[in-house]
Amino acid sequence: MRVALDAQLAIGTATGIGEYVSGLADALRRTGDLEVVELTEPGLDPWRFDRRILWDQILLPRRARKSGATVLHCASGTVPYFSSLPLVATVHDVAWLRVQSHAPAYARYYFGAFSVGLYGKVAQIAVDSEFSRGELLQVLTDYDARRVHVVYPGVADDFCSLERRAGDGRTILFVGTVERRKNLDALVRLLPDLDGARLVSVGPPTPYQEECAALAHSLGVADRVQFRGYVERRALLELYAGCGVVAVPSHYEGFGYAAAQALCSGAPCVVSDRGALSEIVGDDAPVVAVDDAAAWTKALAFALSGSDDARAAAVRNRSIARLSWPASARKMEGVYRAALQA
C-alpha cells in the first residue's frame, strides 16, 4: 500500500498540524508495512488563503494522482472536491464552526461549512479525540459514525527523551498560535497576582496578540510578557526543559499538543476544562475551570514553586505510553486499509 500524505502544512512555520503530519509520516515509515509519499509545494505559502485553496483543490489531487498512491490522506482538515483516489481525512476539530466568529467570513465558510460538506466524499475519517468525534458527528449527521475513528496524535521522540531540569520557578510557557480561542489574555490577567512570574508565548501571531500586548501594558506587566513568535526546535525544547509550568487555558482544543508535549517531557502542566484537554491529560495534570481566575492563580503558583515537579516526573512514562507515535501509526494504518475496502 502506498499512501499519499498531504504534508503542505509541515513546511515553513509549522504549527500543531505540521507537527502532526511530520510525526505521522516518520512513524508510518517505521511500521515497514506501507510506503508514504509526502506531498508538498515548498514555494507555496500555506498560510495565504488563496494559496491554500490552490493547493487543496487543484495541486494536491493532481500530485496524489501522479504519485502512484493507492489512498490519499488529507491530514489538515480540508479535502479536495474531486479526487481519483480513495480519501482518508484527519479532522482535528470543528473550531471553525464553534469559536472562530472573529475570522473573515470567507475563511469561516471554507474551513467550516464547505469542508464539512465535503467530508461525505471521504471513505474514512480520523479524529484526534473522543471530544472531536462527538463534535464532528453533531455537524456531520448523515455520515456513518462507524467510519469515524479516534486516533490520538503522537508526541515526537525529542520531547519524550528530553532531559527535564528543575523548573526555573518563574516561566509560564504558552505554546501555540496566538489566537483568541487559545485564551492567552487570561494568563496575562493573572500576572499581577503571580509575583516574579513571567509569561513566554511561543507561536505564530494573529492580530489578537496585539490585544494581549496592550492588556499587559495596561496592567503594568508588559516587561514580564515575551512574545517569541515561531522559534526553532532547539529553542522550543529548551523552554520545555526548564520552564516552571506549561499553561493551556484554551476555550477550545480538539487535542492540545502543548499539553501532550508537556506530559511527555516531564514538565508540570495546567490545562482548562474545555474541549479535549481533560481527556488528553487524564489524571496526569491539573484541570482548572477556564474562567476560574483564582483557581488558575493557585494552580500556577503551586507549579512555579516546584511543588508539582515530582508528580510531573512520575506520570511521564505513563503519558508517553498513551501518546506514542508507534501506537498512532498502527491505528492509522488500519484506517487506510478500511478506506480501501469501502
Could you tell me the pTM of the whole model? Answer: 0.93
Quick check: do 2-154+324-341 and 157-322 share a fold?
yes
Q: Which among 342, 339, 341, 331 has a CA at the least distance from the CA of 33?
A: 331
Q: Which among 178, 177, 183, 49 has a CA at the least distance from the CA of 108?
A: 49
pLDDT for position 78: 97
* pLDDT mean over 212-235: 96
User: Residue 99: is its pLDDT beyond 70?
Assistant: yes
Q: How confident is the model at residue 14 (pLDDT cuts 50, 70, 90)?
A: low
Strand order in the sheet with 71-74: 35-39, 2-6, 71-74, 87-91, 124-127, 148-150
Give the mean pLDDT of the chain: 95
Looking at residue 295, its amino acid is A
Percent of the chain with pLDDT over 70: 100
Top-tier CATH class for 157-322: alpha beta
* pLDDT mean over 250-275: 97
Beta pairing partners, 150 = 127
Architecture of domain 2-154+324-341: 3-Layer(aba) Sandwich (3.40)
The predicted-structure confidence for 153-207, as pLDDT tens digits, reads as follows 999 999 999 999 999 999 999 999 999 999 999 999 999 999 999 999 999 999 9
Place of cell 503519558: 319
DSSP string, 162-188: --PPPP-SSEEEEES-B-GGG-HHHHH
The predicted-structure confidence for 144-155, as pLDDT tens digits, reads as follows 999 999 999 999
User: Residue 32: is its pLDDT beyond 80?
Assistant: no
Residue spans of the domains in the chain: they are 2-154+324-341, 157-322
The predicted-structure confidence for 49-78, as pLDDT tens digits, reads as follows 999 999 999 999 999 999 999 999 999 999
Place of cell 469501502: 342
Count Cβ atoms within 10 A of the Cβ of residue 43 and give its class: 0-12 exposed, 13-18 middle, 19 or more buried. exposed
